[in-house]
Amino acid sequence: MKKKTLLVVDDSNLVMARLLPLLQEHENIEYVIHAASYGEAMEILTDIKADLILLDINLPGRSGIELLRSIKEKDQTARISMFTNQASDAYFDLCTKLGAIHFFDKSKDFDRIAGIISADT
């Protein structure tokens, strides 16, 4: 089984401190790369192809929804999951329409994220 590269785009140090150890313990994820903004994520994606991308909606500069749209315009096969504290039905509908494969509510689904992401690899 080929190990996967995961890009996590979130500007919260607290979220990353909690999420990274959960993701790194999965044997099918080889690399977890972190970007804290839209621009940083786009820069990283010019150099690497992430197998999975986990995006927050609220990012500095431009939103994760804009990032989702930009990534999918370039690569329809990109496997992108959204995770947010703004888990409204409207955001869920928009993100899934734009091509997100999962939509997580950070306040309710946090402990499920690593398992679901790992199962997708």
Could you tell me which residue, 56 or 117, shows the higher pLDDT?
56
Report the predicted TM-score, pTM, of the whole model to 2 decimal places.
0.91
The single residue listed with the structure tokens 């929804």 is: 65
> What is the per-residue pLDDT across 30-73, written as a single tens digit (0 to 9) for each?
888 999 999 999 999 999 999 999 999 999 889 999 999 999 99
CATH topology for 4-120 is: Rossmann fold (3.40.50)
Write down the pLDDT at residue 59: 93
- The residue extents of the domains of the chain are 4-120
Contacts of 22 (CB under 8 A, 6+ apart): 111, 113, 114
